[in-house]
Structure 1
Amino acid sequence: MNILVLGAGGQVGFELLRALSPLGELIAPTREQVDLADPDALAGVFRAVRPELIVNGAAWTAVDAAETHRESAFRLNAELPAQLARFAAVAGIPLIHYSTDYVYPGDGDSPWREDSPTGPLSVYGESKLAGDEAVMGSGARHLIFRTCWVYGARGRNFMKTMLQLGQERDALKVVGDQVGAPTPARLIAQVTALAVYRLRLGQGIEGLYHLACRGETSWHGFACEIFRQAARAQVPLRLTDQQVQAIPGSEYPTPARRPGNSRLAVERLEQDLGITLPHWEPQLRLTLREYLGA
């Protein structure tokens, strides 16, 4: 099976290459090889590769920058998946695409379900929702995973930022009224690989699913757990979790509005794929261990 993987340079993309490599021949062009902002360049890739499966890990992920770079965000988050879906529909092949909790309005305290009403608060969320809708309306066989609070041992993310700040500062303030489930890129890739394996057996799942760790915490709670686990791993830190102060999001204004409620209900994925998703704390331990090279 020829599998076209886009966005392999990102933290999810890197993990996809590791997880999917036993399942087929991976074609993963770099940014230097293919400009994903150029529709003609992408069409050339389709003609040359003739993939049997497309896995789209490419996205505009700079949430705040999207507010002032709307056209670029929509090209990667909406127009690119729409183009991929059109190709998949014509070729009769499946497309796997990744989305975000930012498509929801972020209010309340109940987990969002796949059929919950959408209502993005930011340009980033609007662009991701537009991409989801393009894929779902394309007629292509598709699998969309909406996830949240993605981090990993590679790339820029919250875990690595906290570890750096923990070595530089004596005190820290972190938002405590935004709640979600930290989800490692490794887990996203592993679930994707299982879905692809099932697809090859003719037992594939299709449609929209939520993919996130079990449990919930705030960014403040996530930061405190990072520092606790880092201390157990004997990482030299200047501060402990006791020196991290929780603040409301209103005290940390950003160009793009963040959802207060990023909880995602994952029961549909667990039932249809026959898995139990892990809790976020043990997954943090594994990711931190990998980052530290243990």
Structure 2
Amino acid sequence: MYSKIAVLAALVAFAEARFGQEGTVQGVISALGNFGNAGEAATLAGASPGVLLGGANACAKLELADQIVATLGNDPEVIAAAAALVAAEKNFNPFAAAIPTICSDASLPATPELRGIVPLVDPAVGGSDVENANSATSLANPFNADGLSQADVAIANGFSNFTLQGSDGSTAAPAGGNAGGNAGGNAGNGNNNAGNGNNAGNGNNAGNGGAAATATAGCGAVRTLTTVVAAPTQDTGNNNNAGNGNNNNNGNNNNGNGKNGNGKNGNGKNGNGNGNGNGNGNGN
């Protein structure tokens, strides 16, 4: 029982530490009281916790960073405070989401000195070691961000375990991972379709014009009846043995020599077995 309570208390303390870290950035901005008009730094500092909350838009902190520079000037100390906000970790509720959001608006931040900086992420997120190291590096030496959003810069430098979020609130997954999955899926489907094509049109033995001669013994005479079986024409498929006119029209009956019993025209072209073998056998 006591061990469970201790674990729960540790989790609560950790959550409070993670969700309370926005206060650090707030203090840095508050220290800019010597810049701009009286009270402006305090007002900007007061807005900073809100843009780092889990429910805030990921682009909001970049807009606020631009506002800090526009309001207080571009003194290195002001730039450093604004950059700290750009790089700050944005909270997210792990019970509602498994990964953080990063701004996908390529126009933000608009301040040149703030571009190319990537944010810190929760250490519990996969790949956070790479991203957090990149964040520290980018504060000193920003990455190339020409035409790129903060999300694009993060992806370009090896971190993509997050959700992209635009200024309008729209979200999407990083393009790289989805593209690979779709390509693999489509390739697999193509192979299946190709395999199905192998079964198309096996018209074996189609159109065997088998002209079977039937000899009927009569009183004093033998009549040969020819039954013609014509199979349907099949244009599609591998017509193996197609149109084999089986000239079974030999009118040589034991009860008489049926002359002219050769089943001519037994060539089953295109599967039409025209067995016109008329056995005119006069059995004398």
Q: TM-score, normalised by structure 2?
A: 0.27
Query: Which structure's relative contact order is higher, taking Cα pairs within 8 Å and 6+ residues apart?
Result: 1
Between Structure 1 and Structure 2, which shows a larger proportion of helix residues? 1
Between Structure 1 and Structure 2, which shows a larger proportion of strand residues? 1
Q: TM-score, normalised by structure 1?
A: 0.26
